[in-house]
């Protein structure tokens, strides 16, 4: 994630926390010589908690969410200690420059950036320290982790052979968007209700609304992407959509499709002849993909070593080892501290 986007996300996250009900503070975890406060955990968890509550999360679900956020914060505390030992902390001048870059990328003056941050509930001095933390975390990744990662040519060739060399030799591919609605439960009429939603979506599209916007509001498949499925080769089309896709013109939208799962619509946004990718076309992208995967593995090893070498004690409710992830309903992913270099 780029630092500019990360910084604005942080401001929004803390703004949500500042409006939340206050709890009595205390120590959530001891990490070496430093502590993580309960208020720190609540502040970081607030945006995800709001989304989880809106989706019907229980108090026990939220307790689990807090536990997961605390684990992220323990990791950050460990990284701060590495920064101190390695003497790779960010100077005030470097923080100033990073903030200036964020303002420039968002076409804001420094004064307007500061006003925007504070309007979202984050004190500007705290914002500066969050930016400092992101710079330092990136340095740990770049200075202490990336140097251990190497990708040789044979690894790149092996990934190409495993993932790309078996691609089709020709044919057509389609850029698809879909709207999918499934019945809610087994009650009589549930399927009809689902399909009527698809009929209403089709009427809106026929009336001039963009497929992507309607999909964001209606579809159960990739709503955050406007129902986008991306490029799909003709041999990989799902059976329920194949007849519609192959008969649509570019930009066309199918009529309602009745399928085993419920009902749907397909937009065939674009069609093109499939041209197989040659090794030389993708080798650098594959190299970067492998590098990032190895980087993640090395970073995980670093954190595991730090946890093994550092006294870590979770306190209060966070010390309850009985906290377990419920398999009944997944929660939204906790708001991560952005990692501009990783």
Q: Residue 223 maps to which CATH number?
A: 3.10.50.40
Q: 130: which strand partners?
A: none
Query: Considering only CA atoms, which of 41, 40, 66 is closest in space to residue 53?
Result: 66
pLDDT band at 166 (very low <50, low <70, confident <90, very high): confident
Token look-up 């923080």 returns 95
Residues 141 and 82 in one domain: yes
Token pair recorded at residue 89 = 């902390």
Tens-place pLDDT, residues 286-333 = 999 999 999 999 999 999 999 999 999 999 878 754 444 433 344 444
Residues 60 and 126 in one domain: yes
Q: Which domain holds residue 141?
A: 3-150+288-319
Residues 293 and 269 in one domain: no
pLDDT at res. 198: 96
Token pair recorded at residue 141 = 């990744």
* Dist. CA 219–CA 265, nearest whole Å: 9
pLDDT at res. 11: 44
pLDDT at res. 320: 57
Q: Is the pLDDT of residue 107 over 90?
A: yes
Structural domain contains residue 37: yes
């Amino acid at each position: 994630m780029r630092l500019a986007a990360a910084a604005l996300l942080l401001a929004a996250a803390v703004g949500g926390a500042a409006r939340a009900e206050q709890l009595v503070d205390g120590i959530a975890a001891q990490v070496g010589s430093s502590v993580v406060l309960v208020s720190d955990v609540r502040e970081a968890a607030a945006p995800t908690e709001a989304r989880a509550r809106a989706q019907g999360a229980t108090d026990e679900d939220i307790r689990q969410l807090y536990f997961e956020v605390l684990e992220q914060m323990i990791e950050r505390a460990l990284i701060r200690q590495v920064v101190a030992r390695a003497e790779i902390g960010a100077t005030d001048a470097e923080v100033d420059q990073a903030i200036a870059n964020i303002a420039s990328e968002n076409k804001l003056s420094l004064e307007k950036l500061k006003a925007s941050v504070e309007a979202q509930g984050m004190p500007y001095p705290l914002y500066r320290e969050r930016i400092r933390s992101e710079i330092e975390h990136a340095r740990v990744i770049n200075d202490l982790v990336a140097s251990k990662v190497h990708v040789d040519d044979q690894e790149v060739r092996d990934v190409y052979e495993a993932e790309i060399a078996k691609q089709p030799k020709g044919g057509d591919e389609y850029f698809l968007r879909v709207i999918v609605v499934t019945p809610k439960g087994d009650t009589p009429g549930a399927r009809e209700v689902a399909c009527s939603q698809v009929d209403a979506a089709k009427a809106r599209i026929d009336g001039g609304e963009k497929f992507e916007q309607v999909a964001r509001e209606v579809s159960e498949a990739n709503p955050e992407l406007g129902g986008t499925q991306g490029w799909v080769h003709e041999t990989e089309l799902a059976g329920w959509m194949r007849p519609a896709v192959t008969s649509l013109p570019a930009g066309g939208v199918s009529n309602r499709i009745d399928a085993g799962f419920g009902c749907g619509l397909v937009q065939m946004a674009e069609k093109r002849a499939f041209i197989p990718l040659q090794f030389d076309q993708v080798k650098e992208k594959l190299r970067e993909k492998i590098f990032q995967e190895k980087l993640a593995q090395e970073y995980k090893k670093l954190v595991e070593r730090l946890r093994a070498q550092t006294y870590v004690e979770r306190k209060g409710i966070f010390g309850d080892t009985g906290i377990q992830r419920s398999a009944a309903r997944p929660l939204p992913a906790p708001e991560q501290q952005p990692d501009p270099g990783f």
